[in-house]
Amino acid sequence: MSTLALVGYFEPWWVQVIKAIVVFAVGLQLVPLVLIAERKLLGRFQGRYGPNRVGPYGMLQPLADILKLLTKEQFRPRTSAGLLYALAPMISIMTAVAAFGLIPFGDVQDIFGTKVGLYGVDVSIGPLYLFAFGAIAFYGIMLGGWSSGSKYSFLGAMRGAAQLISYEVSQGLALVGVIITAQTLSLTGIVRAQAGMWYLVPQLAGFLIFLTASFAETNRAPFDLTEADAELVGGYNTEYGGGRFASYYFAEYLNVVVVSGIVTTVFLGGWLLPFGVHPPGWVDPFIVLFKMSLITFLFIWVRATLPRLRYDQLMSFGWRILLPLATLNALVTAIVVVATH
C-alpha cells in the first residue's frame, strides 16, 4: 500500500493519544468562549450589555444554553429519514473537530524529555486535508436538510451546498499563492516559512479573498443564507432540536474557530512574533490563541456590520468577483516566484 500522506513528526503512541484528547478538550472549551464572546460583543456593538445574568458577567450563559439543549427531547419529524437524520449532525461535528486537529499551536517542544509537537497532527498535505474535511462537512448540512423531510430544511441545505461549492474554489485558490511561496503543504512548514515576514504582507490580496470566502464557508454573516431566518425559518437545522441541534450549533462555532486558526497559521505567522522576538516555547500556544481571538473578533464585528446578501448577489460575488481575483492572485504569485528564483 502506498503512502497517502507523510506525517511531519512521529511521536510515541501514548503522546498521540494524549494529544487527541487534549485537542478535543481544548476545542470543546473554545466553543463556549466564542459563543459568549459573540453574544457579548454583539450586545456592545448594539449599545446593550449582552447576557449578564447567569454567573459573573453572564459568563455561564453558554453553559446554561448547552444544558438546556441537552436536556430537551430528541424529537424527530415523522417524514424524516431515520438513520441519516441522526447521522448528519455527527458528520458536521466530526469534520469540524478533525479540521481543528490540524492547527499548529506551536513548534516541536521538549516536554520532560519527550519531543511533542504542539498540534494534533502535522500532515504533508495540510490544506488538502482541510479542504477534504470541509467537503465532508458539507454532507452534514446536506444530509441534515434532506433527511429532515421539510421544505425549509431542504431549501436551506440546497443553498448551503451551492454556497459551499462556490466559495470553496476561491478559498482554495487563495491558499495556492501561499503554498507556491512557502513551497510546502505542511502547515508547520508554512508557519516556519513566515519567519522573515508574515504572508499577510506579500499575500494581502490572498488574505482578503481567503477571509471573505471563509465567511461564506462557515455560513457566517453576511453570507448566512443557509439560515436566513426571515425566509427559511432556520435553514438546514430547522427540524432539529435538543442535543442534535446543539451538535450543529457546536460544529458551526467550531468551524469559526478552525477558520480563525487556519488564517492565523497561513497568513498571520502562527506562533511567530514580529520583530524577531523569540519567546520560550510554552508561550507559543497563547500567541496562536491570541491571534485566533483577533480573527474571531473580526468575524463577530463583520456580523454586526453587514446585512445579509441576496442569493443572486452571493452567487455573482463568488463566481464573478472572488474567483477571478483568486485566480489572478495565484497566477501573479506564481509568475513572481518563478521570476525571482
Partner 1 sequence: MPAPHDAQPAAGGSGEARATGSTEVPRAGAGAGGARDQGAAGGSSSWDPGGDVIEVLRAPAPGPAKGTWRTFVETLRGLGTVFGRFLEPKVTIEYPEEKTAVYPRFRGRHKLHRFEDTGLEKCVGCSLCAAACPADCIRVVAAENTPEHRVSPGERYAAVYEINMSRCIFCGYCEIACPFDAITMGHDYELSDYDRTDLIFTKEMLLAEPLERTPLRNEGE
| Residues lying near partner 1 in the complex (CB under 8 A) | 41, 43-49, 52, 208, 301-302, 304-306, 321
In sequence order, what are the residues at sequence separation of 6 or more whose Cβ sits closer than 8 angstroms to the Cβ of residue 164? 134, 138, 141, 216, 217
Q: Which is nearer to partner 1, 304 or 315 (CB)?
A: 304
Cβ of residue 283: shortest distance to partner 1, in angstroms? 28
* Residue type at position 116: V
The closest alpha carbon to 202, from 177, 185, 183, 184, belongs to: 177
Dig out the grid coordinates for 6 from the structure.
Answer: 507523510
- At 242, which amino acid appears? G
Q: How far is the CB of 314 from partner 1 (least distance, A)?
A: 13
Q: Minimal distance in Å, beta carbon 186 to partner 1?
A: 32
Cβ-based nearer residue to partner 1, 20 or 208: 208
Least distance in angstroms from the C-beta of 199 to partner 1: 20
**Contact by Cβ (8 Å): 299, 37:** no
By beta-carbon proximity to partner 1, the closer residue of 224 and 239 is: 224
Q: What is the residue type of 110?
A: D
Report the C-alpha gap between 217 and 239 in whole angstroms: 22
The type of residue at 222 is: P
Query: Which C-beta is closer to partner 1: that of 79 or that of 313?
Result: 313
- Cβ of residue 325: shortest distance to partner 1, in angstroms? 10
Strand partners, 116: 109
In three-state secondary structure terms, 323 is: helix
**CB of 120 or CB of 318, closer to partner 1:** 318
